[in-house]
């Protein structure tokens, strides 16, 4: 489905252990073989993408892929998500390109975060810039603000409910960080627009002392 020359080298502001990186790339190769697709973009999401992972955090690998032409000529809708079994280290899943484009058109904050991740495992030199350009073109501050405000409220409620059953400890610290991060992201959406929410969180130090 393509050669290694189609992809830029892995770039990362949050270094990934070499053995983990090797395993991630092997998992992406396996996805391509098993499903006869091409992975256009793959990155790290979750706490490692946001910059406040703990030593025992797993790796949330997210990707965008494309099928061969004939897949798109079928009459009936086909499954547009690929998910690999989750283990203690890796959580790997991806969205088909058409699904990703539809979500970009709706300014989906999760996909914007993927495209802004500092940890990129694989990136097609032709498609990734186009996706980022579309992300900017269709960015909606209102959708972004609503997403992060809802996240902050949910994390706050979840944390209070869980802490009523457990001692605060590490769980309480993680929930506090999550609320801070969502709040910072919401402010960044208002000030800077698309593609800056995660950057603002990474540079905010919102996890200091948590």
Rounded Cα distance, 127 and 120, in Å: 14
Q: What is the pLDDT of residues 151-202, one digit of tens each?
A: 667 655 554 444 444 444 443 444 444 555 555 555 555 555 545 555 544 4
- pLDDT beyond 70 at 52: no
- Residue 68 banded pLDDT, cuts 50, 70, 90: very high
Question: Model-level pTM?
Answer: 0.71
CATH architecture assignment, domain 4-137: 2-Layer Sandwich (3.30)
What does the domain layout of the chain look like in residue ranges? 4-137, 141-204
Is 41:122 a contact under the CB 8 Å cutoff? yes
Is the confidence at residue 139, as pLDDT, over 60? yes
pLDDT value at residue 121: 95
């Amino acid at each position: 489905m393509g050669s290694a020359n189609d992809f830029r080298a892995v770039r990362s502001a949050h270094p990934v252990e070499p053995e983990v990186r090797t395993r991630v790339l092997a998992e992406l190769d396996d996805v391509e073989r098993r499903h006869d697709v091409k992975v256009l973009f793959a990155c790290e999401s979750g706490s490692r993408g946001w910059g406040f992972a703990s030593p025992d955090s797993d790796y949330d690998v997210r990707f965008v892929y494309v099928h061969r032409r004939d897949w798109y000529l079928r009459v009936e809708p086909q499954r547009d998500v690929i998910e690999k079994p989750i283990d203690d280290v890796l959580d790997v899943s991806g969205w088909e390109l058409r699904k990703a484009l539809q979500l970009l058109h709706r300014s989906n904050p999760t996909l914007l975060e993927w495209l802004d991740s500092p940890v990129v495992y694989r990136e097609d030199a032709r498609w990734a810039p186009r996706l980022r350009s579309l992300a900017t073109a269709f960015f909606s501050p209102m959708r972004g603000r609503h997403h992060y405000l809802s996240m902050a409220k949910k994390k706050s409620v979840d944390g209070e409910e869980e802490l009523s059953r457990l001692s605060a400890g590490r769980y309480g610290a993680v929930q506090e960080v999550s609320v801070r991060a969502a709040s910072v992201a919401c402010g960044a959406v208002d000030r800077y627009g698309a593609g800056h929410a995660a950057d603002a969180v990474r540079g905010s130090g919102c996890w200091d002392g948590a």
